[in-house]
Amino acid sequence: MDVLADADVDSGVIGPDEVLKLIPHRYPFLLVDRAVDYVAMESIRGIKSVTMNEPFFQGHFPGYPIMPGVLMIEALAQTGAILMSKSLDVDVSRHTIFFMSIDKTRFRHPVRPGDVIEMPVKTLLARRGIFKFEGQALVNGKRAADAEFAAKVVEIKA
């Protein structure tokens, strides 16, 4: 029995290996490194360490690299998908989670190489495999972006 793995479960920590089991995203489109503060069906805090090696920095923008706002929203959506997948015990071999909508989105501060984004996501509504969330992208406690968004569990059809 792995004592550290048990401690992670008890502390609400979702490490990188578990993230890979909960959502299908992979490099270069996996935008959540790990998550903390997981409370089933209620909330989670995603963590993304932004490095200069991110492929989008080659063109956004040379000389002053900033993370595209749409990717900050995608990182929030992936954080919500991790919360859904773990809470609902989604069988990712047969189901996936699709982004449905986004509302009340604001971009407030640029995210640059070297920043660590913390993404608190809270469930506003959960019903029949559909979740509505509110989330923020924070860097050093300062809001970079915020949004309300929804996602649903979908059966994968081969």
Contact 44, 91 (CB under 8 A): no
- Catalytic annotation on 109? no
25, 60, 95, 109: which is the annotated catalytic residue?
60
| 3-state secondary structure string across the chain | CCHHHHHHHHHCCECHHHHHHHCCCCCCCCCCCEEEEEECCCEEEEEEECCCCCHHHHCCCCCCCCCCHHHHHHHHHHHHHHHHHHHHCCCCCCEEEEEEEEEEEEECCCCCCCCEEEEEEEEEEEECCEEEEEEEEEECCEEEEEEEEEEEEEECCC
Q: Name residues whose C-beta falls within 8 Å of residue 96's C-beta, 6 or more positions apart in sequence.
A: 24, 153, 154, 156
Q: Which residues are catalytic?
A: 60
